[in-house]
Amino acid sequence: MAIVAIDSMVLVWGIRQEGTQEQLQRVRWLFEELQQQDAQIIVPTIAIAEYLTPVARHDHAAVIHDLSQRFIIPVFDVRAASLAAHLFNVGNN
């Protein structure tokens, strides 16, 4: 099973359906491929923050709930940032 992280723009194109026709078509293909692979999709909390920017504050909880039903939203804190940097460096050696 694949584990894939997506960013806020993929959410905008894939969930909100905002973008050019080419962007919408590409993200539709991506989601279909990931579904066929039974992939786990991770959305970093920073991407959630970016995605929520145009959403009214009183709707944040509902949007977060909806996203958490479809995607894994792990907590990303300072320890996670340090580990991510370490893993990035290990992977580039």
- pLDDT for 6-18, tens place per residue? 888 999 999 999 9
Q: Is the pLDDT of residue 1 over 80?
A: no
- Contact (Cβ atoms closer than 8 angstroms) between residue 8 and residue 47: yes
Q: Which pLDDT score, from 0 to 100, does residue 46 have? A: 84
Amino acid at 42: I
- Contact (Cβ atoms closer than 8 angstroms) between residue 6 and residue 41: yes
pTM: 0.75
Alpha-carbon distances of 84 from 75, 76, 80, 89, rounded to whole Å: 13, 10, 6, 9
**DSSP string computed for 17-83:** --S-HHHHHHHHHHHHHHHHTT-EEE--HHHHHHHHTTS-GGGHHHHHHHHHHHSB-----HHHHHH
Q: Is the pLDDT of residue 55 over 80?
A: yes
